[in-house]
Chains A and B, each alone.
Chain A
Amino acid sequence: ETGVTQTPRHLVMGMTNKKSLKCEQHLGHNAMYWYKQSAKKPLELMFVYSLEERVENNSVPSRFSPECPNSSHLFLHLHTLQPEDSALYLCASSLQGPPSTDTQYFGPGTRLTVL
């Protein structure tokens, strides 16, 4: 098992719901990431946090709101999502954030379905 955990593993929500995805890393890393994988598409970077500060927002709609209260925890708050937001959401962490090329360690992902 990796040192990055994600909860829940599966989530079904309606378009008017508000939910949150949680990620926790037990590796002592300083950077954390949210990625999205839609069907038949590559992993796409959404957000990067380094030392609890957001350093990258990859043109993500405001209905996705990240939060990084400390270097071990990362949340993705979801509200008024659309069916096309259904995807696998992966969290990752690395020892150092950009511009380092440190290996990123991934969690198992949350499979999100928006009805």
Chain B
Amino acid sequence: ILNVEQSPQSLHVQEGDSTNFTCSFPSSNFYALHWYRWETAKSPEALFVMTLNGDEKKKGRISATLNTKEGYSYLYIKGSQPEDSATYLCASHLIQGAQKLVFGQGTRLTINP
């Protein structure tokens, strides 16, 4: 069974501060990791897909790192803005057949003006 865990479950951050949160996954059988951003009443939006140990991806003020040997990925947001308020999901593929994405429960981020 593949479990993907995210922490914290929720987070309140002051506007302008930087923040980060974690996605943990089993390091054996790793194939790929996806990050999504999900605003209320909208569609989840793909942020990154990462496959290699040591990968770093960046999109504007958001960046992510990947450590496949220890089984974790960090998502960083620099200089948080109110529009960053959303739930951030990570999801991992199994290596055998990579048949499906297994999602974590998400980190709900609220930016306080």
Q: Measuring CB to CB, which residues of chain A are less than 8 angstroms from any residue of chain B?
A: 2, 4, 40-45, 48, 55-56, 58, 90, 98-101, 103-109
B105 pairs with A42, CB closer than 8 A: yes
Choose one: A4, A41, A43, A101; the contact of B98 (CB below 8 Å): A101
Which A residues are in CB contact (< 8 Å) with B31? 101
A41 pairs with B105, CB closer than 8 A: yes
Chain A residue, CB-CB nearest to B34:
A103
A45 pairs with B100, CB closer than 8 A: yes
A99 pairs with B99, CB closer than 8 A: yes
B99 pairs with A42, CB closer than 8 A: no
Question: Which 3 pairs across A and B sit closest by C-beta, in order of nearness?
Answer: A101-B32, A99-B98, A43-B103
Q: Render B55-99 as a binary contact track against A, CB cut-off 8 A, 1 for contact.
A: 000000000000000000000000000000000010101000111
A107 pairs with B43, CB closer than 8 A: yes
Please report whether the interface of chain A is mostly helix, strand, loop or mixed according to DSSP.
loop
B111 contacts the other chain (CB 8 A): no
A56 pairs with B46, CB closer than 8 A: no
User: In the complex, which range does the number of interface residues on chain B fall in?
Assistant: 20 to 34
B98 pairs with A100, CB closer than 8 A: yes
Which A residues are in CB contact (< 8 Å) with B36? 106
A4 pairs with B43, CB closer than 8 A: yes
**Docked pose: A41 CA to B4 CA in angstroms:** 12
Looking at the assembled complex, report how far the CB atom of A19 sits from the nearest CB atom of chain B, in whole angstroms. Answer: 21
Q: Can you report 7 residue pairs joining A to B where beta carbons are below 8 Å apart?
A: A43-B103, A45-B102, A98-B97, A98-B99, A98-B100, A99-B97, A101-B34
B99 pairs with A101, CB closer than 8 A: no
B44 contacts the other chain (CB 8 A): yes
Q: Assuming the A-B contacts A58-B100, A103-B34, are A42 and B4 also in contact, with contact meaning beta carbons closer than 8 angstroms in the complex?
A: yes
Chain A residue, CB-CB nearest to B4:
A42
Chain A residue, CB-CB nearest to B89:
A43
B52 contacts the other chain (CB 8 A): no
Looking at the assembled complex, report how far the CB atom of A89 sits from the nearest CB atom of chain B, in whole angstroms. Answer: 13
Q: Render B7-42 as a binary contact track against A, CB cut-off 8 A, 1 for contact.
A: 000000000000000000000000110101000011
